[in-house]
Amino acid sequence: MNNISGNPDQDFSMWVRKWIHYDTLIKSLYKQITKERKIKDQYEMQVLDYLKHKGVPNAIVQTQQGKYQPISETHSSPLSMIQIESLLHKYFQSKGATIKDESSLIISFLKANRSHKNVTRLREITNGTANTTNNIMDQPKYNELQ
């Protein structure tokens, strides 16, 4: 995968071209998957509506690819700090005056003590910025890429 030729500049140029290729490919596939998922969801709704209309909303649909059955799923919403703080306020209110509401202190503690992971990534610059804290425009440019 590294394909080191012995010429650092040539290797760097090849690595950048390969990165651009795979970055572009991933973006394209992501867009395609998003589009296909929307179409699949539309067909799913049509199948479910048809089964419901026929009075068999839990019917097993059997095809050469396999068996399919409607199921009900429950998905939890992601918890943000704002939601956690709101829930903590409700918790302390439900306890009445016997417990002091320390929601804000708990949230401050969580924010101060949560772990962070710093990762350096290569990102395409759009409109002159890579939307990072360090502006790549301040760095030496590699315009010699072929």
Digit-coded pLDDT (tens) for 10-34: 899 999 999 999 999 999 999 999 9
Provide the residue count of the chain.
146
**Stated pTM of the model:** 0.62
Tell me if 144 is assigned to some domain: no
Same domain, yes or no: 120 and 87: yes
- Indicate whether 79 pLDDT > 70: yes
Cα atoms in the 13 Å half-sphere on the side-chain side of 77: 6
Same domain, yes or no: 123 and 66: no
Q: How far apart are CA 4 and CA 93, in angstroms?
A: 64
Same domain, yes or no: 2 and 48: yes
Please indicate whether residue 84 or residue 6 has the higher confidence score (pLDDT). Answer: 84
Number of domains in the chain: 2
Mean pLDDT of 84-92: 93
Same domain, yes or no: 101 and 63: no
Range of the domain at 28: 1-74
Give, in degrees to the nearest 5, the angle at Cα 26 between 133 and 145: 65
- Cα–Cα separations (whole angstroms), residue 129 to 122, 133, 136, 137, 139: 12, 10, 7, 7, 12
Digit-coded pLDDT (tens) for 99-118 = 889 999 999 999 999 999 99
- Indicate whether 2 pLDDT > 70: no
Tell me if 143 is assigned to some domain: no
pLDDT confidence band for 146 (50 / 70 / 90): very low
Tell me if 107 is assigned to some domain: yes
Q: Which residues pair with 68 in a beta bridge?
A: 61
